[in-house]
């Protein structure tokens, strides 16, 4: 990662519930509003960061990423939040750290291959290996004791028994996948996809264009099926936001020690 430490690291989530716990830990946050978005600049674990809610969907996420790079000069972007599990062994409460990201609803064929972003030659955009390796390592540590992190009741309510870290393909699209038929269609089309969400691949594309490191770490909130709407809001506030704070804080602390 670029060592220009006078430039901030960007931490991005789509919804306030995903980022609220982290914002509460920034002692010197300064709000700067650009493009209708509040960017919070401050420090966490000794690192200069800018935190922002991208809003939901690929266009909103791409707009946010572009502002982070052009206006704030972010030296890296990390997207955190929730996703729906697709692979059979990716369960609620697990964490997925992306190695590559793809837009599952992009199809400019027959002019370009399905999923390929026109004029880039890429369908799958790589996440930064160094950042992703570090996030996976701290995630494994965080998930080793979910009861201490979340409390026994929350861990029991969501059956968070031995959550795991997965690494692989994360896919994004402009729809909330919430039926068994939709998730089965995605598994058939992209059998190596671990999870689905609505922003990551767009941010990965922007970071690729600018040559800036990007990583995505997602907590699995549901199985992207008919029960996906379930207790979604409570899961995000009670589990995913705490995961995000713990993961990002541990990673930033690791950077500060280097």
Determine the 3-state secondary structure of 221 from DSSP: strand
Number of structural domains found in the chain: 1
161: domain CATH number is 3.40.50.1580
- Structure tokens belonging to residue 247: 């993961």
Active site members: 18, 222
Least confident of 69-78, 102-111, 173-182: 173-182
Return the ∠ at Cα 174 (arms to 171 and 179), rounded to 5°.
Answer: 75
Q: Distance between alpha carbon 96 and the CA centroid of its chain, in Å?
A: 9
Check residue 225 and give its pLDDT: 61
Range of the domain at 226: 9-257
Would 2 be classed as within a structural domain? Answer: no
**pLDDT over 60 (residue 228):** no
Give 116-164 pLDDT, tens digit per residue.
999 999 999 999 999 999 999 999 998 988 888 888 888 888 888 889 9
Q: What is the spatial distance between Cα 142 and Cα 157, in angstroms, rounded to a whole number?
A: 19
**Mean pLDDT computed over every residue of the chain:** 90
Give 7-19 pLDDT, tens digit per residue.
999 999 887 877 7
Least confident of 36-40, 109-113, 237-241: 237-241
Cβ(101)–Cβ(125) below 8 Å: yes
Would 170 be classed as within a structural domain? Answer: yes
Of 18, 146, 48, 130, the C-alpha closest to 92 is 146
């Amino acid at each position: 990662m670029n060592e220009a430490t006078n430039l901030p690291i960007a931490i991005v989530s789509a919804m306030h519930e995903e980022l609220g716990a982290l914002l509460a830990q920034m002692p010197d946050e300064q709000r700067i509003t650009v493009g209708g978005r509040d960017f919070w600049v401050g420090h966490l674990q000794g690192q200069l960061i800018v935190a922002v809610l991208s809003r939901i969907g690929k266009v909103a996420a791409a707009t946010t990423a572009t502002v982070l790079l052009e206006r704030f000069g972010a030296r890296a972007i990390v997207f955190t939040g929730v996703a729906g599990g697709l692979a059979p062994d990716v369960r609620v409460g697990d964490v997925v750290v992306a190695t590559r990201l793809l837009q599952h609803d992009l199809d400019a064929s027959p002019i370009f291959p399905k999923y390929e972003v026109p004029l880039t030659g890429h369908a799958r955009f790589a996440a930064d290996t160094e950042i992703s390796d570090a996030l996976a390592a701290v995630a494994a540590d965080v998930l080793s004791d979910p009861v201490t992190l979340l409390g026994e009741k929350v861990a029991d309510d969501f059956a968070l028994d031995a959550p795991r870290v997965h690494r692989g393909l994360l896919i994004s699209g402009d729809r909330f996948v919430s039926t068994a038929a939709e998730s089965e269609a995605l598994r058939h089309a992209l059998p190596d996809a671990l999870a689905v969400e609505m922003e990551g691949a767009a941010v990965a594309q922007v970071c690729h264009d600018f040559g800036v490191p990007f990583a995505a770490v997602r907590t699995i909130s549901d199985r992207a099926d008919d029960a996906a709407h379930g207790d979604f809001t409570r899961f995000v506030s009670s589990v995913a936001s705490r995961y995000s704070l713990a993961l990002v804080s541990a990673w930033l602390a690791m950077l500060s020690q280097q």
